[in-house]
């Protein structure tokens, strides 16, 4: 049995669907062969259905999985993003390293079972409950490194720089004490993490949290330090998610957030602008032309009442995009694609908005675009089924009732994204040439999820 290859009757390559493809990879899990063949070679396993590239998840705050479903009630005031944030800060204030690791491990198992093969962690809870550094200053980053290695998901670790509570260098609030680092202290953390990340195939980047949280001089210095360490390291930043943020930025600088950033920072293809919900058409066109990735998080953006991203303007300017599960109110790659397309249908009153000139099938077009953009934002070799990329794959189950006897892989993928339960038709998930999910289940499903439940229970007991 050849355990370094897989035969796919239908494989979704960056150029579109191909028939009878033999996928082979080396000991590092990188694809060495993606070619059509006449027959499935003897001894090579045959995929149970169409093979899709694994989906990179470009935006995650792992600890937020612990309170999914627990902020869905009306408070005293008009509930908003900001009232949600106050509730979120209570969990951020209470979580322990052990809880973070258990929650992240459970979450990563869930991600793999739902089609994500790698994740970008936008990691900002750094310090102990009093806001003092742990004895090992990298303690909480290490929890995420261990959790990803245990679950077998690829990781881009983005330690977050957080210094102020608002534009104009407003001092941080009590609730932000676990996040705060000086620029030098952040650069020291990156130096410490670099060899540890390199050793496990994790990519290390930096996330200036937002223009609210990082003053201009710190942004400049942190980027210079990052680029001295690794000139191609990824940079992620939350931006223009809420209209209140746009207004505060205008009041501070006379410019909208994306406009300000484009004028004051070296935004390029290394960058991921997370959300970028509220852009003028001009900001959108300018930003798209830099090669930056828009990090769209449709389920969280809906959950938090952010607004609707204008995908048409973005794409007309050649804008790249990928998806993230962010607060993990939904953990499912196909569902994020569905929600994104539906947001566009609701806003424009059209259908199949995110289909493309070369891919009429919207699920196929979106999968390819989100893998390409997600890979760019991850800065890892996860750009799909192509030579030299990691063998990260989702295998659909052609015998699932909703896919069975359908006439083409396009229709099977459409059924998976738009008509199925968006998880039940996933037969296998592979990461770097290793099966991590078989018959819809990860080997650690029971143990990792019961670990997550126990950690959540303790966290709830300690959260006021
Ligand atoms: C976060 N989450 O950092 O977890 C943010 C909220 C903020 C989202 N923006 C905090 N979805 O932006 O200040
Ligand atoms: Zn976020």
The Cα-based distances of 359 to 94, 334, 353, 417 in angstroms read 47, 17, 12, 15
Q: Decide whether any atom of ligand 1 lies within 6 Å of the 71 Cβ.
A: no
Residue 118 inside a domain? The answer is yes
Task: Supply the CATH number for residue 345's domain.
Answer: 3.20.20.140
Q: Kindly report the average pLDDT of the chain as a whole number.
A: 97
Is the same domain home to 315 and 418? no
- Is 377's pLDDT higher than 90? yes
Mean pLDDT of 117-128: 98
CA-CA distance, 99 to 103, in Å (whole number)? 6
Is the same domain home to 65 and 36? no
- Annotated catalytic, 326? yes
User: How far is the centre of ligand 1, averaged over its atoms, from the C-alpha of 176 (Å)?
Assistant: 12
Mean pLDDT of 378-386: 98
Write down which residue in 331, 346, 378 finishes a domain: 378
Mean pLDDT of 433-440: 97
- Is 464's pLDDT higher than 90? no
Residue 457 inside a domain? The answer is no
Is the same domain home to 13 and 133? no
Q: Mapped to the 3 state alphabet, what secondary structure does 201-263 carry? A: CCEECEEECCCCCCCHHHHHHHHHHHHHHCCCCCEEEEECCCHHHHHHHHHHHCCCHHHHHHH
Full domain range(s) for residue 326: 54-378
- Is 210's pLDDT higher than 80? yes
Q: Is there a contact between 234 and 205 (Cβ–Cβ < 8 Å)?
A: yes
- Residues in Cβ contact with 348 at an 8 Å cutoff, skipping those fewer than 6 apart: 312
Is the same domain home to 207 and 345? yes
Write down which residue in 378, 408, 423 finishes a domain: 378
Is the same domain home to 63 and 45? no
Is the same domain home to 136 and 245? yes
CA-CA distance, 34 to 143, in Å (whole number)? 36
So what's the pLDDT on residue 2? 72
Q: Decide whether any atom of ligand 1 lies within 6 Å of the 85 Cβ.
A: yes
Mean pLDDT of 366-392: 98
Is the same domain home to 31 and 130? no
Q: How confident is the model at residue 463 (pLDDT cuts 50, 70, 90)?
A: confident
- Is 157's pLDDT higher than 70? yes
Residue 180 inside a domain? The answer is yes
Mean pLDDT of 195-207: 98
Residue 38 inside a domain? The answer is yes
Is the same domain home to 26 and 121? no
Residue 392 structure tokens: 């990260």
- Is 19's pLDDT higher than 80? yes
User: How far is the centre of ligand 1, averaged over its atoms, from the C-alpha of 291 (Å)?
Assistant: 24
Q: Decide whether any atom of ligand 1 lies within 6 Å of the 277 Cβ.
A: no
Residue 403 inside a domain? The answer is yes
Residue 464 structure tokens: 């006021």
Residue 165 inside a domain? The answer is yes
Mean pLDDT of 50-79: 95
Residue 20 inside a domain? The answer is yes
Is the same domain home to 215 and 140? yes
* Number of domains composing the chain: 2
Residue in 59, 126, 236, 275 annotated catalytic: 275
Global model pTM greater than 0.95? yes
Residue % of the chain over a pLDDT of 70 = 100
- Annotated catalytic, 275? yes
Mean pLDDT of 42-53: 97
Residue 189 inside a domain? The answer is yes
Is the same domain home to 164 and 280? yes
Q: How confident is the model at residue 1 (pLDDT cuts 50, 70, 90)?
A: low
User: How far is the centre of ligand 2, averaged over its atoms, from the C-alpha of 61 (Å)?
Assistant: 6
- Is 76's pLDDT higher than 80? no
- Residues in Cβ contact with 387 at an 8 Å cutoff, skipping those fewer than 6 apart: 31, 32, 33, 34
CA-CA distance, 219 to 314, in Å (whole number)? 25
Is the same domain home to 268 and 417? no
Mean pLDDT of 408-415: 98
Counting atoms of ligand 1 from 1, which one is nearest the CA of 300?
A: 11
Counting atoms of ligand 1 from 1, which one is nearest the CA of 81?
A: 6
Counting atoms of ligand 1 from 1, which one is nearest the CA of 61?
A: 4
Is the same domain home to 9 and 120? no
Task: Supply the CATH number for residue 442's domain.
Answer: 2.30.40.10
Q: How confident is the model at residue 213 (pLDDT cuts 50, 70, 90)?
A: very high
Q: Decide whether any atom of ligand 1 lies within 6 Å of the 241 Cβ.
A: yes
The Cα-based distances of 189 to 223, 227, 232 in angstroms read 14, 14, 18
- Residues in Cβ contact with 121 at an 8 Å cutoff, skipping those fewer than 6 apart: 60, 61, 62, 104, 144, 148, 155, 156, 157, 158
Counting atoms of ligand 1 from 1, which one is nearest the CA of 301?
A: 11
**Residue 273 burial (CB count, 10 A):** 27
Q: Decide whether any atom of ligand 1 lies within 6 Å of the 80 Cβ.
A: no
- Is 229's pLDDT higher than 80? yes
């Amino acid at each position: 049995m050849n355990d370094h290859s897989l035969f796919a009757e239908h494989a979704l390559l960056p150029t579109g669907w191909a028939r009878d493809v033999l996928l082979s990879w080396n000991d590092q899990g990188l694809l060495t062969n993606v070619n059509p063949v006449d027959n499935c070679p003897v001894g090579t396993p045959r995929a149970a259905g169409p093979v899709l590239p694994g989906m990179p998840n470009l935006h995650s705050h792992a600890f937020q999985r612990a309170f999914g479903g627990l902020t869905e009630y009306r408070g005293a005031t008009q509930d908003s993003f900001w009232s949600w944030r106050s509730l979120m800060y209570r969990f951020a204030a209470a979580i322990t390293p052990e809880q973070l690791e258990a929650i992240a491990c459970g979450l990563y198992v869930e991600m793999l079972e739902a089609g994500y093969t790698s994740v970008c962690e936008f990691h900002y809870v750094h310090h102990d409950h009093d806001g003092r550094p742990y004895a090992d200053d990298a303690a909480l980053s290490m929890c995420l490194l261990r959790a990803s290695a245990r679950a077998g998901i690829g990781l881009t670790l983005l330690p977050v720089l957080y210094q102020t509570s608002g534009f104009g260098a407003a001092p941080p609030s009590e609730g932000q004490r676990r996040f705060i680092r000086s620029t030098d202290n952040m650069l020291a953390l990156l130096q410490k993490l670099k060899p540890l990340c390199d050793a496990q195939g994790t990519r290390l980047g930096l996330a200036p949290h937002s223009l609210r949280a990082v003053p201009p001089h710190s942004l400049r210095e942190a980027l210079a330090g990052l680029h001295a360490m690794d000139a191609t390291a990824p940079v992620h930043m939350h931006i223009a998610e809420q209209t209140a943020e746009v207004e505060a930025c205008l009041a501070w600088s006379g410019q909208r957030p994306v406009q300000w950033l484009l004028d004051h920072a070296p935004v390029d293809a290394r960058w991921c602008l997370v959300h970028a919900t509220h852009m003028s058409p001009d900001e959108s066109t300018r930003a798209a032309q830099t090669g930056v990735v828009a990090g769209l998080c449709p389920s969280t953006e809906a959950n938090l009442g952010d607004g609707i991203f204008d995908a048409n303007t973005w794409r007309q300017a050649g804008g790249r995009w990928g998806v993230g599960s962010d607060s993990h109110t939904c953990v499912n790659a196909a569902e994020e694609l569905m929600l994104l397309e539906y947001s566009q249908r609701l806003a424009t009153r059209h259908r199949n908005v995110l289909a493309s000139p070369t891919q009429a099938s919207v699920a196929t077009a979106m999968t390819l675009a989100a893998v390409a953009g997600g890979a760019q934002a991850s800065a890892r070799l996860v750009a799909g089924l192509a030579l030299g990329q990691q063998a990260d794959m989702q295998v659909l189950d052609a015998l699932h009732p909703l896919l069975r006897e359908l006439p083409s892989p396009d229709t099977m993928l459409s059924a998976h994204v738009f008509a199925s339960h968006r998880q039940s038709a996933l037969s296998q998930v592979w990461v770097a040439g290793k099966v991590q999910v078989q018959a819809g289940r990860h080997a650690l499903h029971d143990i990792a999820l019961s670990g997550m439940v126990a950690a959540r229970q303790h966290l709830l007991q300690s959260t006021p």
